Amino acid sequence: MLQKNDRLPLYYQLMDIIVGQMDSGELKEHDRLPSERELCELYDVSRTTVRQTMQELEKSKLIYKIHGKGTFVSSRVIDQSLVSFYSFTDEMKKLGKDPTSQILAFNTIQADAHIAGQMRIEENEMIYQLIRLRLADGEPMMFETSYLPTERFPQLKKQDVTEVPLYQLFNEKYQVTISKAKERFKAIKTEKEVADKLQISKDEPSLFIERLTYEQENIVEYTVTIARGDKFTYSVQLQSNAD
């Protein structure tokens, strides 16, 4: 219950309770929250306190409102650790989400100067281009374009990348063992075509991620990803060299 003699404001205490219920799983994603009146009665606080709590939770994107239906728990932001190699499929499964991919395009193309430079191949060399929309529990999360060398993955078919996660396919069909990956991040405004696919507004902030995936010193994948800025954070643990 709320402590009315506590130095912490009542709205902050109520926020703490609701966020705690989200963290514990008592309130799950897209669950409906009690109404303002119900919260007032449940915690013996004024409607002003409840409204301030809801405003702060909405500002933090922890809840969302649907007119005429109520207030609901938002999808949680995914914090991705960068200390080891990861895949979208594996990370979503760890969070209890159902990862799926929509194959938007699978083509064999000639590498332009930029892609050739990234992949350390000759310009106009033939490569596969794989464009996917990555979803978790049916919600769009990432728009991803991958480039793969045809020489390392001969006879790769659209059906192959549709039926099996990409890194699993690398290992099982082509005996490719990933040794490392390098990534580069920057914030961008989302262009309309991608925003429509991700079901967000044009110019909403997103993360632009470039990944080079290696088999020993050979690059086996160059991927450009647009990740929803409201769905992902990325973290890295830094070790101190100080005595």
pLDDT tens digits along 3-26: 777 778 888 889 999 988 887 878
The DSSP 8-state label assigned to residue 32 in this structure reads: B
For the structural domain made of 10-73, what CATH number should be given? 1.10.10.10
Q: In which residue ranges of the chain is CATH 1.10.10.10 found?
A: 10-73
The structure's pTM equals 0.70
pLDDT on residue 173: 94
pLDDT tens digits along 69-103: 899 988 776 655 555 567 788 888 877 788 899 99
The strand ranges marked E within the chain are: 63-66, 70-73, 78-81, 99-110, 126-136, 139-149, 180-189, 205-215, 218-228, 232-235
Please give the structure tokens belonging to residue 96. Answer: 């209890």
Give the β-pairing of 126-136 and 139-149: antiparallel
pLDDT on residue 47: 92
Q: How far apart are CA 172 and CA 178, in angstroms?
A: 12
Q: In which residue ranges of the chain is CATH 3.40.1410.10 found?
A: 78-235
pLDDT on residue 22: 83
Burial class from Cβ neighbours inside 10 Å (0-12, 13-18, 19+) for residue 141 reads buried
Find out if CATH 3.40.1410.10 is the number for domain 78-235: yes
Stretch (H or E) spanning 22: helix 10-24
Q: How many CB atoms lie within 10 A of CB 5?
A: 4
Which of helix, strand or coil describes residue 186? strand
Q: What is the mean pLDDT of residues 204-233?
A: 91
Stretch (H or E) spanning 113: helix 113-119
pLDDT on residue 143: 97
Q: Which residue's structure tokens are 């033939």?
A: 126
Q: How far apart are CA 132 and CA 143, in angstroms?
A: 6
